[in-house]
Structure 1
């Protein structure tokens, strides 16, 4: 398996794994989408290997152009 992975411990749930991986439990949808064969699991047993996708931080719209990376 390429990239980052997470090996579950007994009792892990999608939101707790997302919090451990991204420090944001609301990113669990991205985690589920990266692991479609496990999407039916609510509470994980120990030892399941999950792929951790790369999450890019969105650039806030309220930043000035020089902080957004705009060339204009």
Structure 2
């Protein structure tokens, strides 16, 4: 398992976007870091566990959001 050290003001979906390129994968971070589930906005310097995932298994936009209107 890899790790990520937070920057002041980080939020779950922003961290997921930085790591995997998709904010919709943040539940995987929550699952790997139950100790911090209650945190909405992080202080700097907190080391989070980052599970290794195959990002090709996930779509960039979850199906429940529907199609993108152009």
Of the three residues 1, 9, 12, the one matched with 2:10 is 12
Q: Any runs of at least 4 consecutive aligned residues in structure 1 with deviations exceeding 3 A, and if so which?
A: none
Residues 24-65 of structure 1 show CA distances to partners (whole Å, capped at 9, x for unaligned) of: 100000011000000000000001000111112328xxxxxx
Q: Distance in 1 between matches of 2:11 and 2:24?
A: 12
Q: Distance in 2 between matches of 1:30 and 1:39?
A: 11
What runs of 5+ residues in structure 1 fail to find an aligned partner?
A: 60-72
What runs of 5+ residues in structure 2 fail to find an aligned partner?
A: 59-70
- RMSD of aligned Cα (Å): 1.7
Q: Distance in 2 between matches of 1:32 and 1:58?
A: 18
Given the two structures, how large is their TM-score scaled by the length of structure 1?
0.74
Aligned residue pairs, count: 58
